[in-house]
Structure 1
Amino acid sequence: MKLKIEGMSCGHCEKAVRDALQAVPGVTEVVRVSADDGQAQVSGEPDPAALVAALDEQGFDARVEA
């Protein structure tokens, strides 16, 4: 599942995103997080709304990409 994330600008942001996504039930792996293109990818069967909510709690605007 791919996500578009607004507000990531540095390595610290990438780590915060990675940690938040890994904590979501159903995520088996955070495959990729990139501040350069504002995207992340996870594997597993997480609830898309839970992914967005976890990132919102960290101060990032996110949406699941088709």
Structure 2
Amino acid sequence: MLTFTVPNMTCGGCAGAVRQALGELPGIGKVEIDLPAKIVRVEQGAAPEPAVRAAIEQAGFEIAA
């Protein structure tokens, strides 16, 4: 499972946008979002990590280093 900190994810709408972006990516399994902690956990399945990162970023969110 991949884990990302997404500091500018601040509300349910943000979490929904991230979830939708990841849902459109082929090969994604389960997506867990901990909004108060600003954490996104992704069961990546066949999707490579760079593609998962790109989907989050293309949805308009930065991933902390």
Query: Counting strand residues as a fraction of each chain, which structure ranks higher?
Result: 1
Q: Same fold (TM over 0.5)?
A: yes
* Amino-acid identity (%): 30
Post-superposition offset of 1:5: 1.1
Root mean square deviation of aligned Cα: 1.7
Unaligned runs of 5+ in 1: none
1:62 and 1:23 map into 2 onto residues whose CA distance is 19
Number of the residue aligned with 2:12: 11
The runs of 4+ residues in structure 1 deviating greater than 3 Å are none
Match of 1:38 in 2: 38
Query: When the two structures are superposed, what TM-score results if normalisation uses the length of structure 1?
Result: 0.80
Structure 1 residue matching 2:55: 3-state secondary structure: helix
Aligned pairs, how many?
A: 63
